[in-house]
Amino acid sequence: MFITRIEKPEKTVLSFCGIKFTRKHKKVFMDLYNKNRFYNAIVKNNFSIAERRGILEDRFYKKTGYFPNLNNPQTFNEKMTWLKLYCHDEVQKKCVDKITFKDYIAQILGKEYVIPTIAVYDRADDINFDELPQKFVIKSNCGWGGDQVIIVKDKTKINIDRVRRQANSWLVTWNNYFYQSFDWEYENLKPRILVEEFLEAIDGDVPDYKFHCFNGEPKAILTIEDRFKKGQIKKTFLDDKWNVLPIRRPHSTVNKNVKKPKLFDEMLKISRKLGEKFPFVRVDFYNTDNKIYVGELTFYPGGGVEPFATKEWDIQLGELLKLPDVKEK
């Protein structure tokens, strides 16, 4: 399949084992990837928790390189997968959907901590571009990782049909995180389209702040810088007194001189307030100089399978978390 003759030398997307893959190949990969999720949606949808566990353990070994012990979870990633399988709290369902999440934050903190919505649509045909302002952002309510987002900076210059087509592809049932890593909150979540206000202060390469709350206490903080520069992503872990921790994720570097944000104390206060109700939650902030927005609440960072550079740090982060007692184990 991949050995077809290439006439013109094209720009390489990825090089692997001495072979340069071009854009053509990437299309093939993405096709296979989506087909796999489609297959999962049909077949794996109806599996019980014991059956899901087998598939997750398989995935865990392939990603992190060691076999998990879910009877007695010790490391951070093991505990994440354990929570995913056995600890189901209905409030989490509300937080995962980006539309109902805003109501939830407005109840607890207030409306000013949330990026205001302009409109919500069920179908891509319903989007009325005449109503919308000059600048806006279109999202789906269950997207992740900046995948299902379109930023519109000038309404007159976009191809409306193309935007509609792209938004329509998000609404397919199997285009859902549940079928990839069994995040139980996403099961039966109805995909919808959401239009938000465009904020210039957040646009571009602004650092992200992610507060990991262990049993309600923000004990570890992750900052991400230079996200859009290829090969220069900086991921730094800090403790709650802004001391750099020697944790490193693979394929990234540590920046030892991270600037402390002005509203750091308020961020701590907010994440304490939000983290009270859950055994573990990661609060993501968009930070400008004089204002804070809560981006999202993440319950299983990296799907519970993202590796650390050494296993020691996986264990030491895991020690911070105390698991709740669950009846059906």
Partner 1 sequence: MKLFNKKISFKKNFPFIKIQKNIVGTKKDFGHMIGNRMLNYYISKYTPESMEWYMRRLFYKCNRYFPNFENPKTFNEKIHWFKLYYHNPLITTCCDKFAVKEYVEKVLGKGYTVPTIKSWTNVNDINFDELPEKFVLKVNWASGYNIIVKNKDLLNIDRVKHRLNQWMQPWSNSYYHSFNWGYKDMKPVIYAEEYIEQMDGQLYDYKFHCSDGIPRNFLVAADRFKRKSFNFYDMDWNLLPVTRGGPNIRHEIEKPKLFDKMVELSKKLAAPFPFVRCDFYEIGDKVYLGEMTFYPGGGLLDFKPLEWDYKMGSYIQLPEKWL
Question: For partner 1, which residue of 37, 57, 63, 166 counts as binding (CB under 8 A)?
Answer: 57
Question: For partner 1, which residue of 14, 28, 31, 69 counts as binding (CB under 8 A)?
Answer: 69
Joined together, the tokens standing for residue 161 give 């049909």
Helical axes 311-319 vs 76-86, angle rounded to 10° = 60
Min separation Cβ 17 and partner 1, Å = 6
Q: Is 5 in the site for partner 1 (CB under 8 A)?
A: no
Measured from the CB atom, the residue of 71 and 159 that comes closer to partner 1 is 71
Q: Is 58 in the site for partner 1 (CB under 8 A)?
A: yes
- Residue 68: Cβ-neighbour burial (10 angstroms; 0-12, 13-18, 19+): buried
Measured from the CB atom, the residue of 74 and 134 that comes closer to partner 1 is 74
Q: Is 29 in the site for partner 1 (CB under 8 A)?
A: no
Q: Is 3 in the site for partner 1 (CB under 8 A)?
A: yes
Q: What DSSP line would sit under 67-123, residue for residue?
A: ---SSS--SHHHHHHHHHHH---HHHHHHHSHHHHHHHHHHHT-GGGSPPEEEEESS
Q: Can you tell me which residue has the tokens 């698991």?
A: 323
Phi/psi zone of residue 22: left (φ > 0), alpha (ψ -120 to 50 degrees), beta? beta
* Inter-residue contact 208 to 284 (CB < 8 Å): yes
Question: For partner 1, which residue of 67, 120, 149, 187 counts as binding (CB under 8 A)?
Answer: 67
Min separation Cβ 26 and partner 1, Å = 15
Biggest alpha carbon–alpha carbon distance for the chain: 62
Question: For partner 1, which residue of 4, 7, 15, 71 counts as binding (CB under 8 A)?
Answer: 71
Distance, in Å, from the CA atom of 300 to the CA atom of 284, rounded to the nearest integer, reads 13
Measured from the CB atom, the residue of 64 and 271 that comes closer to partner 1 is 64
- Which phi and psi (to 5°) does residue 161 adopt? -65, -40
Q: Is 242 in the site for partner 1 (CB under 8 A)?
A: no
Min separation Cβ 180 and partner 1, Å = 16
Q: Is 129 in the site for partner 1 (CB under 8 A)?
A: no
- Residue 117: CB atoms within 10 Å: 14
Question: For partner 1, which residue of 9, 11, 17, 328 counts as binding (CB under 8 A)?
Answer: 17
DSSP 289: S
Measured from the CB atom, the residue of 70 and 119 that comes closer to partner 1 is 70
Question: For partner 1, which residue of 13, 41, 49, 70 counts as binding (CB under 8 A)?
Answer: 70
Min separation Cβ 327 and partner 1, Å = 20
Cβ-Cβ contacts under 8 Å for 68 (sequence gap 6 or more): 57, 60, 61, 75, 77, 78, 81
Which residues of this chain interact with partner 1, rule CB under 8 A?
2-3, 16-19, 42-44, 46, 51, 54-55, 57-58, 61, 65-67, 69-72
